[in-house]
């Protein structure tokens, strides 16, 4: 195989496909190749996240995350409505169950106001019970613009639209990127299925993003560390206990949102995820292990600095990963009448998180240009929600398409 395309996207997740779609809209006569090493789209973070359309309430006002989450949310809802992607703007509550959580809840509310999240309001116990009769809490933020969506279904719709605009554009599944090269002034990519030539390259490789950037000669000040999140789901008999989305007040000293309840587009209700160090970047079982991934992570100074900073929470998360009883205890903080027989294990995902050598998590999206390539180096939640807005940023950075004016 040896073909030339105007743009090559490495990675068939939601961010890569959103970028391809936005480029194809701008340049309908240009050809695009989307290289995906798996046999299907959205096999990793896109298809294994909680399926939530995030509001943008949690993020530092003015940050890349905050601006692109809000913009992306509006874009993705409009896209889903126009193209028939399964979704539901069902709303959520962020639930405080203890007095000590109230100042944190107030801080989140103030961020939401600063980020101009539409319709948010503080509610008390009576209003909480009206929205979610089985919950028990002393105060909550109601966030009406949060929703759920079928992200993998959206991936397929994006490919359909891209190829509808230009049939010469190709989705290449089972095609692994090996390295890049230059030949007679042309940019090339060696893949597991031969050589592809590219006018421009965009890498949206998620869990492999740092490795692919280094293959292109990038000098990075971070490394991707995987955190596995396990999910349970409510049995059919217990689904009635959750009407919308229910989130706890997050621990401000721990960089994850905590286990929560999510009503999915198929009517099921998932509970989770937790967040534990993963011994395999693409490992979806508590005992998944890969020598290379483990040695890279544990040989990195930043990993140990992070562990020491969050040792207590990390041990609790690890114990909960192997104990249904402890997982249930966390869920009962919000729904006290939940029983052991109400939940069953269902799946897991691994979050790609960029970590500095100092042990600090890269808190914002991180996108950088190296030569003729743009690399998305850090795109944790809410990247799926923000995908269409991130696509605008990528194409603007590459000098290909100017960002739409607000």
- Checking if the pLDDT of 10 tops 80, the result is yes
pLDDT score for 65: 94
pLDDT score for 399: 85
Q: Which of 36-45, 364-373, 384-393 has the lowest average pLDDT?
A: 364-373
- Checking if the pLDDT of 404 tops 80, the result is no
Name the CATH superfamily housing domain 2-46+152-221+364-397: FAD/NAD(P)-binding domain (3.50.50.60)
**Domain-wise residue ranges, the chain:** 2-46+152-221+364-397, 87-146+223-356
- Checking if the pLDDT of 2 tops 90, the result is no
- Checking if the pLDDT of 406 tops 60, the result is no
Kindly give, in sequence order, each residue whose CB lies less than 8 Å from that of residue 227, ignoring residues fewer than 6 positions away. Answer: 256, 275, 276, 277, 278, 350, 351, 353
117: Cα within 13 Å, side-chain hemisphere = 32
Four-CA torsion 154, 157, 161, 166, nearest 10 degrees: 110
Q: What is the tens place of the pLDDT at every residue in 36-84? A: 999 999 999 999 999 999 999 999 999 999 999 999 999 999 999 999 9
**Residues 350/47, Cβ–Cβ less than 8 Å:** no
pLDDT score for 254: 67
pLDDT score for 255: 63
pLDDT score for 312: 79
pLDDT score for 183: 86
**Is 42 in a helix, a strand, or coil?**
coil
CATH 3.40.50.2000 is held by the domain 87-146+223-356: no
pTM across the whole model: 0.96
Residue, of 257 and 7, whose pLDDT is higher: 7
Q: What is the tens place of the pLDDT at every residue in 91-137? A: 999 999 999 999 999 999 999 999 999 999 999 999 999 999 999 99
Q: What is the tens place of the pLDDT at every residue in 277-291? A: 999 999 999 999 999
The mean pLDDT value for 356-371 works out to 92
pLDDT score for 405: 63
- Checking if the pLDDT of 266 tops 80, the result is yes
Q: What is the tens place of the pLDDT at every residue in 148-167? A: 999 999 999 999 999 999 99
What is the DSSP pairing of strand 32-35 with strand 2-10? parallel
**Residues 227/276, Cβ–Cβ less than 8 Å:** yes
């Amino acid at each position: 195989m040896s073909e030339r395309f105007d743009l090559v996207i490495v990675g068939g997740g939601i961010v890569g496909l959103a970028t391809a779609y936005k480029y194809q809209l701008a340049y309908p006569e240009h050809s695009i190749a989307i290289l995906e090493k798996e046999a299907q789209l959205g096999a990793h973070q896109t298809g294994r996240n909680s399926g939530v359309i995030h509001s943008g309430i949690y993020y530092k006002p003015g940050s890349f995350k905050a601006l692109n989450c809000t913009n992306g949310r509006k874009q993705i809802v409009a896209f889903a409505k126009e193209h028939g992607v399964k979704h539901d703007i069902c709303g959520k509550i962020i639930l405080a169950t203890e007095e000590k959580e109230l100042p944190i809840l107030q801080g989140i509310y103030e961020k939401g106001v600063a980020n101009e999240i539409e319709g948010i309001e503080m509610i008390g116990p009576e209003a909480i019970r009206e929205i979610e009769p089985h919950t028990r809490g002393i105060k909550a933020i109601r966030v009406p613009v949060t929703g759920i969506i079928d992200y993998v279904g959206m991936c397929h719709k994006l490919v359909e639209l891209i190829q509808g605009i230009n049939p010469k554009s190709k989705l290449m599944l089972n095609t692994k990127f090996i390295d890049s090269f230059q030949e007679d002034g042309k940019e090339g990519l060696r893949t597991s299925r031969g050589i592809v030539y590219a006018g421009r390259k965009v890498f949206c490789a998620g869990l492999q993003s740092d490795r692919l950037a280094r293959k292109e000669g990038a000098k990075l000040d971070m490394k991707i560390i995987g955190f596995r999140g396990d999910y349970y789901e409510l049995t059919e008999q217990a689904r009635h206990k959750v009407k919308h989305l229910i989130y706890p007040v997050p621990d401000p000293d721990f960089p994850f949102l905590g286990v929560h309840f999510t009503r999915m587009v198929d009517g099921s209700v998932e509970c989770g995820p937790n967040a534990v160090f993963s011994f395999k970047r693409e490992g979806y079982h508590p005992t998944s292990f890969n020598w290379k991934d483990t040695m890279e992570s544990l040989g990195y100074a930043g990993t140990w600095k992070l562990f020491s900073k969050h040792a207590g929470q990390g041990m609790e998360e690890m114990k909960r990963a192997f104990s249904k009883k402890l997982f249930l205890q966390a869920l009962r903080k919000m729904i006290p009448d939940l029983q052991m027989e109400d939940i069953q294990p269902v799946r897991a995902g691994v979050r790609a998180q960029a970590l500095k050598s100092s042990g600090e998590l890269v808190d914002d999206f991180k996108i950088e240009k190296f030569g003729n390539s743009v690399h998305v180096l850090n795109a944790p939640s809410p990247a799926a929600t923000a995908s269409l807005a991130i696509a605008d940023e990528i194409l603007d950075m590459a000098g290909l398409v100017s960002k739409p004016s607000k």
